[in-house]
Amino acid sequence: MSELVIKNLQVSIDDNEILKGVNLTVKQGEIHALMGPNGTGKSTLAYTLMGHPHYKVTAGEVWFKEENILEMKPDERARKGIFLAFQYPVAIPGVTVANFLRTAMNARRKAQNPEDKGIPLPEFRKLLKEKMDILQMDHVFAGRYLNDGFSGGEKKRAEILQMATLEPEIAILDETDSGLDIDALRIVAEGVNTLTGPDMGVLIITHYQRLLNYIKPDFVHVMYNGLIVESGGPELALKLEDQGYDWIREKYDSVPVG
């Protein structure tokens, strides 16, 4: 069983310390929710895990499949089995959803087997249609340019389709609920629920309980001031929904970091 193990992760942006010693383990088959107020480091954690160059790791380790992935490039981490669904997916005019997914899939296959010639086109088309049917997506979607002219909900569904096709072992969803209305949120959540299982661990980053009404986490963590300060079960998210984050601020503002 694969697991993502984060040990004492400290990260800075332009000499401004954001993460101050994060410890977290996400195993295949587990759903973790990471919550917290704006500006506490949640998205910084997501981007650091995928190797965004703007984030400087000053201390700590991140282990996956017996390797410290902090030494890897972003594409190497993706090929190894880690996936990030972006809060704000970018548009790529001229590149269809299908071509993008086939290229990504072939890159991962080649990383696993250098002799792999890539998935045959008929096999890929069959696989993509199966994944789109599971997610209740119109097959026309595959021929559209990636995120070009997509609504907020369509962009997020495209991210979930990528996750379905690439079948990562660890998936990080960075505020997937951001900007979605209730109907789009429900559709995206149903897609995530369809894909989760014993072979994939999920880290959901969110501000609000509403997404967790549809996706039931096994563990809930609260990040504040660059640290994970509270961990528990689904009841912790309900407490945050009921009481907000003021009790977190009152409890931890006076606690020295380090």
Give the domain extent around 221: 3-252
pLDDT at 256: 54
pTM as predicted = 0.90
Q: Is residue 258's pLDDT more than 90?
A: no
- How far apart (Å, rounded) are the C-alpha atoms in residues 104 and 24? 28
Residue type, 32: H
| 223 domain residue, yes or no | yes
In a domain, 98, yes or no: yes
CB 67 within 8 A of CB 81: no
- For residue 257, being part of any structural domain is answered with no
Asked if the structure places residue 9 within a domain, the reply is yes
Q: CB count, 10 Å around CB of 118?
A: 14
Nearest CA-CA partner of 220 in 231, 228, 211: 231
Helix axes 152-166, 182-195, angle to 10 degrees: 0
pLDDT in tens, 135-153: 888 999 999 999 999 988 8
**Can you give the CATH number for the domain in which 87 is found?**
3.40.50.300
Domain count along the chain: 1
Residue at 50 is within a domain: yes
Q: Write the pLDDT tens digit of every residue in 203-246.
A: 999 887 888 989 999 999 999 999 999 999 999 999 999 999 99
